[in-house]
Structure 1
């Protein structure tokens, strides 16, 4: 066995560095784990597991389905866009991983609790794993110490912690992991290829050239993870395009400096070819019948798109060789290619409107334009509010101060690239960073992607500043005082032999200069420590808020949806949604996934923005007849409203319905003791809308909608700071009270009611008798229903203008079957 003392000093130092590196990565993983588990307590407070957002609940539905049908995925669901159903655009890889983890944790037979825990824990696991490619990228572009601090910055940056915390069952965390791994392997391929002068001639020695094989292996690995990325998110093909963009930029720089670019094109072509080969079998198992092309679903579009990117790289390669061979000015290269690209777009617009629409819609999506994106809060620009006002709160909430330090690091990095011989991995990282920065600035939801680059650049600028303070040297002086004296007094141990100490050496006086270590510079120590704290403490502080801000669904919605599942007729096909269920539930699209997963009922509108036109028309209409027509056409049995729909979300409802908010509110800016504020005063048109009649007036003037449940718990924790109540209404045919009274007499039916919370309210509906004295009043409530829901406290009191009270009882069958009840009011 080899004695450690026998090792050369260099080997011992290398081994120590490896141990320190491993320990550091383990510590980083622990920190990342703690940051991402802060929400565990709030999400499991009631003994179950709650999830953090909206899409998370539909991902859990798919995970639940995949566990039951492993490895099958839920691609068409009759529980959304009811009654038509909807084809799911999400690729299945993230949900497959959740189901696989559940099966492993449940030893092949997981129960619902295990499945929900696996789904909630999956983002934590993927978030921690992302630290590895972040470290690899930073080490390849900069150095290991930058990589270590960059990985720590990434472990605590709020934008990524937010999407990878416990309970955030969404594919965004997988996007970051897979794209960063793909980019990391591509960077390694580039770096290896450039250092070893990879060219076409190198393939002659492919069997013996390990460096060539390493570069090719890295490229293939990059392609594999790009294909898994495509199998996770429909927007992933755009990131494959990014490889082509980089190839154009790098080749332009190489042509300007008179360098060969074979290494760029070999790595790029192999990466995209591998992506193509891995994508074909993945897409083939998911695409619809025929050769339909769609950028919104897994289809042959992704395969064709990657193939086009491969052709694009080969064309770039050929044209660069031509420019180089003809000794043309390097400016012709980018100029001609940009002209060709623009011409191609124009020709595509002329001869293939469908493919042009794919590209245009993709650009609109990444720029935050088009469709219903403008009504989504997370899709607004980073520095703007939903009302278009400048704000810095989103930046602080996503990055702390890491965004600012990252931007500072970016400018410094650009300066260094200009001053030094630009390496391909550095150029790639720069283009990658600019691309992600654009995404984050255009839509704040993409801050989780930019978190990788911002963290690495933060580490880069931080080390630059720390080095200027000699911080490391000062820390060593502080933690190892007297090291010089100790080292001078210790014997020198040589390999294989111990040097005995002579007795007289003990009494030998050590010179004062060698026995004292200089005192540390406390100003530099404090400055360096303050700098580090200034960068990391705000991030950790923001992340700590997730400990209590984890739950998105309020108790009022939880209460109402649990009631919906337990107290309404069960619908069929929940775990095999290939057939149409018996009825649907109508609410605003924000709440659709909650209705499907917690209430286990089909939803007309959900978070895919399905059915939003029908929902908005229903809530905005002032006609009960139109409302009846909508729910009857959609076979809706229940309607759910909340306070936010009647207030804060009303503007989105009006916008999608094609109305102007000014038609319903008079908006003025006034001044008070605190300054300027905006005051919105309701107009008469608002009071006539169905959302107002239902939620604000309990539907007390409607014939076919009855309140059956209201939330027993009211939350005061929503964003508006106002109390939120959820109400469930049932659509019924209604019993029609018909009879005779005096001609042109107003007849009024009145019923006193108590809600499930004990709240008292009054239903009142009237009709004016015609010239023959005939009247008809359709009412939705039974007077004999005595369950735990809304119940009548008496019979209907039926009165005319000049008559006494006439009491009428209505049973449940009368209401459900639309029975006519003949009544003659005595004079």
Structure 2
């Protein structure tokens, strides 16, 4: 009878587990209509866009992963600072299962990689839950609860959905795997008695996990440091003689050699021997030191096994301090690089990193007593974010009650990740595992605590009932609660098809209309750094600045930031220097990226109508690119003389009372030169009808005549232009003193060759 019951319980568990895995897969692929809008494959994030590009390049050169990319930091090219793992794995899958005839198949294969890692994260979360729960049917269902929670957490989904090809999902998986690996050696008294073969297998698994974490993300040395502290703690707490095999030290040392082999090829290409920015010798060296520290802890424990934990720790700390001093004397540049990594990357002293969203505090710098802080928690963790403190307290307490030894490790692990998450929200992705496990353990603690209110002779009976019913009720409640959360329920049904976003449409236009990448052909594209990866992947055209910031090229990155702040001549010089012939810009870029000392690009008049702010245009002359480059002569706002508006987005700015596209594509041209004479000091205006998606506007260019009456108006916009997004009238109307007018036809060839059109003064023409 007991045998049959156990079989039924196992069957129920595996059935629910299978359903959860299917759900975990579905919620991650249900966004496919969003990734495939209008028949195009569009990466959902900037870093994902570059991972797609690099993975596709790797599939052509496999097993070599390109480090140097000739199309970024144009025209010099730049090195990619990422580890090679994700792109090499994806490139391998494309090589094995892809198609040379249908490139879309290759993109879909690559898009499934984060989904696979997301499912693995769900699996390992369940496994960690089970480490803290008794091996009984009801408790096993509580582990399913942990898997369910991480499946529906917004932040967990955000990094693992279809198309989100980014190393963050790998980072999360391997940190969870590293922690689980450490927990597997507990309880220590049982592990010591394991066979040599088991301990060797344990070390081999640890080596692969550790090397894998660095293979996918060079910054994993931070997580390896955390688990090294955990390993050393376990070793020093032991009062019996222990073997080196099984300590974790050999795993770390072997992993350092594996990752050295992998990084050597990358170092040969990018040239950074010791660097925290690039995969270099620094990372395997630190892992090697971590391994030596673990082995040193074994020797200390075996030599001073009668000493207290504190005494052994002090002795180890002394040895490590001498080791650091020796390293500083032998390799001063290496130590300084470590401090630079801590200062610039972890402490946000790098001015560029300090402005990136994922490097901001989880609560956005707000006090926990302010609603803004809780809004951030809700944004990351949905409804579970409001109870995160309660879950942590109860989950850590439950782990401690179940096993002091495992509980201490879990407490240290969770608190370490919690602190990192509060400091930089990028670690909040990894925290999803800790939060999900703590939430499941909270329910375990609740059941155990609730059963104690009954008399002793009834507790076992009540506990058994609770363990059979409560997990199912809670799992159902979590699902029902999730269904009331739009961000969760929206993942359970296929998302609706969408239109192309302005940047995506601009990228397609660039791809179809600009010259192929070639130096001295003006094929480069001027875009803000956080759009660079999109243009590289969508348009396959060179850019100066990318999401790699100054790592790929400092002068170009800084130049792209400054080039839109001043006069057009400054921008043109920058474009000429970097072989750029195209610019993507407009309200979408100027509003948040081109600041003017607090002056906003848009304002409102007394009637509540949205207008372009003249004060902003005076402060930032290139702000005219918001509206197609048209000038405003009555306010002295110069037009753009050399940027030809080739394309405009259908999406308009909602804040304005007249149609202005969110984004424009400009081509750099010499411009037609309209030359003539008027009365000295006369403002001469050249105006043409401009149609943007059938919305009629005026494009205005102007110049003042000099003291001899001569004027020259350079216009980049030809007459008779016919395009669905941008078209023009058949002639320019020339006005002097707002009265005398005559018409001039400017052809596209004249604009492109910079030819002169001489305009006779009307009085002379009589």
TM-score after normalising by structure 2? 0.83
Given candidates 331, 336, 348, the residue that maps to 2:310 is: 331
- Check if 1:639 corresponds to 2:583: yes
CA distance in 1, matches of 2:273, 2:105: 38
Q: Give the structure 2 partner of residue 615 of structure 1.
A: 560
Change (3 A) 1:72 1:714: farther
Given candidates 130, 135, 143, the residue that maps to 1:147 is: 143
- Check if 1:36 corresponds to 2:28: yes
Question: Which has the higher Rg, Structure 1 or Structure 2?
Answer: 1
Q: Give the structure 2 partner of residue 508 of structure 1.
A: none
Q: Give the structure 1 partner of residue 123 of structure 2.
A: 132
Q: Superposition RMSD on alpha carbons, in Å?
A: 4.0
CA distance in 2, matches of 1:59, 1:156: 25
CA distance in 2, matches of 1:779, 1:683: 22
Give the drift of 1:375.
2.3
SS of match in other structure, 1:753 = strand
Select between 679-688 and 90-99 the one with higher mean Cα deviation: 679-688
Q: Give the structure 2 partner of residue 312 of structure 1.
A: 293
- Check if 1:79 corresponds to 2:79: no
Change (3 A) 1:357 1:580: farther
Give the drift of 1:261.
7.1
CA distance in 1, matches of 2:90, 2:747: 49
- Asked whether the 8 Å contact 1:439–1:446 carries over to 2, the reply is yes
| Alpha-carbon displacement from aligned partner over 1:306-354 (angstroms, at most 9, x marks no partner) | 22222333344444556546x4x64344456667767877887897255
CA distance in 2, matches of 1:802, 1:536: 69
- Check if 1:184 corresponds to 2:130: no
Give the drift of 1:277.
2.8
Given candidates 271, 285, 290, the residue that maps to 2:265 is: 285
Select between 130-139 and 336-345 the one with higher mean Cα deviation: 336-345
Q: Give the structure 2 partner of residue 567 of structure 1.
A: 513
SS of match in other structure, 1:31 = helix
TM-score after normalising by structure 1? 0.78
- Asked whether the 8 Å contact 1:754–1:761 carries over to 2, the reply is yes
Change (3 A) 1:551 1:595: farther
| Alpha-carbon displacement from aligned partner over 1:791-825 (angstroms, at most 9, x marks no partner) | 43133333444984343333333322333444442
- Check if 1:755 corresponds to 2:695: no
| Alpha-carbon displacement from aligned partner over 1:490-537 (angstroms, at most 9, x marks no partner) | xxxxxxxxxxxxxxxxxxxxxxxxxxx99x999x99988775555554
Change (3 A) 1:555 1:345: same
CA distance in 1, matches of 2:481, 2:231: 38
Change (3 A) 1:408 1:212: farther
Change (3 A) 1:88 1:537: farther
Give the drift of 1:439.
2.2
CA distance in 2, matches of 1:104, 1:376: 37
CA distance in 2, matches of 1:803, 1:394: 59
Change (3 A) 1:795 1:53: same
CA distance in 1, matches of 2:62, 2:530: 29
CA distance in 1, matches of 2:39, 2:749: 40
Q: Give the structure 1 partner of residue 644 of structure 2.
A: 706
- Asked whether the 8 Å contact 1:150–1:458 carries over to 2, the reply is yes
CA distance in 2, matches of 1:135, 1:291: 40
Give the drift of 1:87.
0.6
Aligned runs of 1:408-447 on 2, under 5 Å? Answer: 408-412=390-394, 414-415=396-397, 422-423=404-405, 425-447=406-428
Give the drift of 1:75.
1.4
- Asked whether the 8 Å contact 1:138–1:150 carries over to 2, the reply is yes
Aligned runs of 1:83-482 on 2, under 5 Å? Answer: 83-106=75-98, 109=100, 111-144=102-135, 145=140, 146-188=142-184, 190-191=185-186, 194-197=189-192, 211-251=195-235, 253-254=237-238, 259-260=239-240, 262=242, 266-288=246-268, 292-320=273-301, 324=305, 327=307, 330-334=309-313, 352-353=332-333, 355-362=335-342, 364-384=344-364, 390-403=372-385, 407-412=389-394, 414-415=396-397, 422-423=404-405, 425-469=406-450
Give the drift of 1:714.
4.3
Give the drift of 1:563.
2.0
Give the drift of 1:62.
1.5
- Asked whether the 8 Å contact 1:752–1:763 carries over to 2, the reply is yes
| Alpha-carbon displacement from aligned partner over 1:109-128 (angstroms, at most 9, x marks no partner) | 46211112112222112211
CA distance in 1, matches of 2:613, 2:367: 19
CA distance in 1, matches of 2:731, 2:422: 61
Q: Give the structure 2 partner of residue 692 of structure 1.
A: 623
CA distance in 2, matches of 1:612, 1:336: 48
Given candidates 488, 502, 518, the residue that maps to 1:556 is: 502
Select between 446-455 and 561-570 the one with higher mean Cα deviation: 561-570
Give the drift of 1:269.
0.5
Change (3 A) 1:386 1:616: farther
CA distance in 1, matches of 2:300, 2:760: 93
Change (3 A) 1:364 1:265: farther
Given candidates 792, 795, 812, the residue that maps to 2:748 is: 812
SS of match in other structure, 2:694 = coil
Change (3 A) 1:582 1:756: same
Give the drift of 1:378.
2.9
* Structure 1: tracts of 5 or more residues without a match: 1-8, 199-209, 474-516, 573-578, 655-659, 669-678
- Asked whether the 8 Å contact 1:54–1:593 carries over to 2, the reply is yes
Give the drift of 1:694.
0.8
CA distance in 1, matches of 2:281, 2:249: 20
SS of match in other structure, 1:117 = helix
SS of match in other structure, 1:706 = strand
Change (3 A) 1:769 1:340: farther
Change (3 A) 1:586 1:797: same
- Asked whether the 8 Å contact 1:35–1:544 carries over to 2, the reply is no
- Asked whether the 8 Å contact 1:265–1:314 carries over to 2, the reply is no
SS of match in other structure, 1:794 = coil
- Check if 1:741 corresponds to 2:741: no
CA distance in 1, matches of 2:660, 2:465: 56
- Check if 1:731 corresponds to 2:700: no
CA distance in 2, matches of 1:640, 1:429: 49
CA distance in 1, matches of 2:409, 2:387: 20
Q: Give the structure 1 partner of residue 607 of structure 2.
A: none
Given candidates 702, 705, 719, the residue that maps to 1:766 is: 702
Change (3 A) 1:261 1:174: farther
* Structure 2: tracts of 5 or more residues without a match: 455-460, 551-555, 604-609, 632-638
- Check if 1:630 corresponds to 2:566: no
CA distance in 1, matches of 2:385, 2:689: 56
Tell me the number of residue pairs that the alignment of Structure 1 and Structure 2 aligns.
722
Q: Give the structure 1 partner of residue 457 of structure 2.
A: none
Aligned runs of 1:526-565 on 2, under 5 Å? Answer: 532=475, 535-539=478-482, 541=485, 542-546=487-491, 555-565=501-511
Select between 172-181 and 213-222 the one with higher mean Cα deviation: 172-181
Change (3 A) 1:349 1:615: farther
Q: Give the structure 2 partner of residue 825 of structure 1.
A: 761
- Asked whether the 8 Å contact 1:251–1:320 carries over to 2, the reply is yes
Change (3 A) 1:780 1:262: same
